[in-house]
């Protein structure tokens, strides 16, 4: 198929496109003069021909700004471990421990521990994909926990400790499927993966005392015996990816 370049377009079409671009610029100027705050929803009340095109243009601008951040929601057993590991990676801006995948809105930690709410303990990871990709996060995810034991990580037993990826977009889903195939093909684990790949629906942040739990409680027995060895191994294997 022959490519069509802008210079090959009819003169009338190029003039029409130029006028439309100028009109949108003029509308932006009028919106700014009217002291419109260009925040999400801050221009929604503007209607009429003077602001036609402003909504779409501003929305695209916010999409570009938001593209510098992406969110991954991963369950790999106790969220104290998951938070401690992923928070040390370059490009990771924030890690929140919490719960996803259940049927009870805003559950407490005690409720989730009963195994009756359907939730998994997860880490919600906000990251800059220009520094570390979703694929790289998943490659690390599959090496820092055992994704072959259903509803269990070591001595932690229960559906809340299941291995699970909650994908937020079709692109995340495709990436996860690709990484899972690679893990299986490379025989990284001696048994088949049992990691669930399910669409994200909701995330409920855990109570405040769970935040930075390993950092705040390094001498707590669970931290000493379970988390600390995992973190040491992780730091050794991924030294080049750690924050300085």
What is the Cα–Cα distance from 134 to 136, expressed in whole angstroms?
5
- The catalytic site residues sit at 78
Task: Encode burial over 88-116: b for 16+ CB neighbours within 10 A, e otherwise.
Answer: bbebbeebbbbbbbbeeeebebebbeeee
CB atoms within 10 A of CB 21: 11
Helices (H), the chain: 11-33, 54-66, 79-86, 109-113, 134-141, 170-185, 213-216, 221-222, 228-237
């Amino acid at each position: 198929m022959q490519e069509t370049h802008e210079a090959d377009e009819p003169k009338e079409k190029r003039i029409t496109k130029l006028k439309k671009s100028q009109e949108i610029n003029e509308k932006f100027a009028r919106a700014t003069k009217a002291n419109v705050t260009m925040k999400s929803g801050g221009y929604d009340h503007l209607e009429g021909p003077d602001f036609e095109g402003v909504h779409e243009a501003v929305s695209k601008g916010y999409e570009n700004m938001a593209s510098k951040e992406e969110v991954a929601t991963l369950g790999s057993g106790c969220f104290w471990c998951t938070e401690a590991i992923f928070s040390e990676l370059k490009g990771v801006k924030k890690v929140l421990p919490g719960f996803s995948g259940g049927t009870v809105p805003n559950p407490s930690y005690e409720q989730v521990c009963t195994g009756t709410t359907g939730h998994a303990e997860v880490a919600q990871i906000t990251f800059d994909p220009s520094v570390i990709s979703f694929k790289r996060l998943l490659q690390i995810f599959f090496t820092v926990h055992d994704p072959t034991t259903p509803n269990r990580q070591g001595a932690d037993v229960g559906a809340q400790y299941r291995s699970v990826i909650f994908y937020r977009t079709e692109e995340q889903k495709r990436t996860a499927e690709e990484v899972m195939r690679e893990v299986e093909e490379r025989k990284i684990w001696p048994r088949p993966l049992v990691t669930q790949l399910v669409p994200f629906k909701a995330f409920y942040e855990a109570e405040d005392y769970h935040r930075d739990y390993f950092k705040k409680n390094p001498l707590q027995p669970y931290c000493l015996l379970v988390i600390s060895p995992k973190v040491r191994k992780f730091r050794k294997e991924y030294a080049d990816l750690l924050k300085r």
